[in-house]
Amino acid sequence: MHKKFLSNLGLILFLNLLIKPIYVFGIDKAVQFQVGTAAYGIYFAIFNFSFLLTIILDFGITNFNNKNISQNNHLLTKHFSSLFTLKLMLAVIYIIVVVVVGLMIGYDTRLMKLLLVQGFNMFLLFFINYLRSNLAGLHLFKTDGLISVLDRTIMIIICVFLLHSGIFYTENGIMYFVYAQTFAYSVAALTAFLIILKKTHSFKLKWNFTFSVMILKKSLPFAILTLLMSFYNRIDSVMIERMLPNGVGDVQSGIYAQGFRILDATNMIAFLVAGVLLPVFSKMLKHKESVEDLVKLISRLLLTPAIVIGIGCVFYSKELMEMLYPIHKTDTLEMYADHLNEASKIFSLLMLSFIAISTTYIYGTLLTANGNLRQLNFMAASGMVLNIIFNYILIKKYEAYGSAISSMSTQFLTAIIQLTIAQKIFKFKVNYRLIGAFILFTIGVVTINYFSKTMHFHMLSTNNWYVNFSIMCAACGIWAFVTGMISIKAIFGFFKF
């Protein structure tokens, strides 16, 4: 099971690390540069607002289906037609609710148009995730990996032409970006649907009221968990844009998006690992196999780079932000310096929380596979309440930076809670050697970063920060092997297909 898990995870990570960074840093960043910080800030806030209501769109069906199909493959043919129809009905309800709530919180006609298209895009995105849950449940991880990058690949091709055309510089530039997403998601959804269709023996659109009620009842705990976690993960930019005065909120949301972008890109690694882990954990637990060794293995493989990335981005936050976001033609030097300084501070806190997010994806996925939804929902509810309270207090005083403080605090708190719950339920042995290795490794990474920032490598005849950053990464990699966080055996197993 370990060998199969690592080989398929290796392919999925390879595909996503090849395609998604190009999209995030080549396309998405370039779009923000052309449309401007304020326009992109509005888009970012509306994207996250539409995400908050996706409980209606998904209702926990994707996670429930992933777990259910992985344990009972024969249910794909039996349930696919009815679930497909149910998803369509939930989509209609979702669009109606998104529009109504958008009007209630004061979105004008221009923003409502953007919200409506974005709502449809969110339906397509979650429909793709539902279809992929079937592939993951069948352990067709390689096919799942290809589908996971298809929409971004199409977006890269389309946006390369749009960026060169200069269309994003126009007043409605952000709408062309959203329309491109609609096309890309549609193609990916249709492709995934046709693949699943071949795996089923029959397909017919039908509405089964009894079945739908049964599925909604079973997936309700998953739905509550999705809602609560969406709120404490995505409400930040919405509160920034709505709480701050007109003009200020848009810009602050855009600055927050600059700091959030790399977190979103690195977060895909942990998200993809969780997508593979859920069906693997589910199957192992059904057959009463021990998951302790796999949890330790994936903790080393995932948290080791997370610690390096999180701490490294704290020390090199300003340099990375300056590299990613050159001065915009509408900015003055003073404005650019202010925005860069704000984005750097926000970026530091958000990237540090990547360590906590990675921990959540490991232990939260394990608890989900084991059916401990009550405990997870309690954790998520606590996180949501705290995050909203922290945001309400801190945004007024510190604007977007206050929201970053709130986000980091919430992520670490909920990660600790999930780790504690998993330790108690599965009665994992306290591995003092592993804990010591993590502590020693973290101290070493901080020390390496400190010296890489303060020392000038004269033998290289340059004080370029790229050199210091590269030496830091190499030194942290060596330190990971020295402390035993990563072994040669694990690396070969990870990349052996």
Q: Which of 216, 212, 213, 260 is nearest to 236 (CA)?
A: 260
Q: Is 60 helix (H, G, I), strand (E, B) or coil?
A: coil
Q: Which is nearest to 159 in space by CA: 167, 171, 150?
A: 167
- Region of 59 on the Ramachandran plot (φ > 0 left; ψ -120 to 50 alpha; else beta): left
Provide the 3-class DSSP secondary structure of residue 368. helix
Contacts of 172 (CB under 8 A, 6+ apart): none
Q: For the whole model, what pTM was predicted?
A: 0.73
> Where does residue 202 rank: exposed (0-12), middle (13-18), buried (19+ CB within 10 A)?
exposed
Residue 206, φ and ψ in degrees, nearest 5: -150, 150
Largest CA distance in the chain: 74
Structure tokens at 89: 């009905």
SS3 per residue for 321-353? HHHHCCCCCCCCHHHHHHHHHHHHHHHHHHHHH
Q: How far apart are CA 405 and CA 191, in angstroms?
A: 41
Each residue's pLDDT expressed in tens, for the chain with a length of 497 residues: 455 555 566 666 677 777 877 888 788 888 888 888 788 888 888 888 888 787 788 777 776 766 666 666 556 666 677 778 888 888 899 999 988 988 888 788 888 889 999 999 999 998 898 888 777 767 677 787 788 889 999 999 999 999 988 888 887 889 999 999 999 999 999 998 888 888 776 667 777 778 778 777 877 777 777 777 777 677 887 888 888 887 778 888 888 888 888 887 788 777 777 777 777 788 788 888 888 888 888 888 889 999 999 999 999 998 888 888 776 555 556 666 677 888 899 999 999 999 999 999 899 889 988 888 888 888 888 888 998 999 999 998 888 899 999 999 999 999 999 999 999 898 888 888 888 989 999 999 999 999 988 876 544 444 578 888 989 999 999 999 998 887 766 555 444 43
Residue 86 amino acid letter: L
In angstroms, the CA 490 to CA 482 distance is 14
Beta carbons of 250 and 38 less than 8 angstroms apart: yes
Closest residue by Cα to residue 130 from 65, 213, 195: 65
Three-point CA angle 70, 71, 74, nearest 5°: 85
Task: Quote the CA–CA distance of 222 and 415 in Å, as a whole number.
Answer: 18
* CA–CA distance, 472 with 18 (Å, rounded to integer): 23
Cα 130 to Cα 10, 171, 220: the distances in Å are 22, 35, 16
Contact 10, 63 (CB under 8 A): no
Q: Give yes or no for a contact between 265 and 20, defined as CB atoms under 8 angstroms apart.
A: yes
User: CA 392 to CA 398: how far, in whole Å?
Assistant: 11
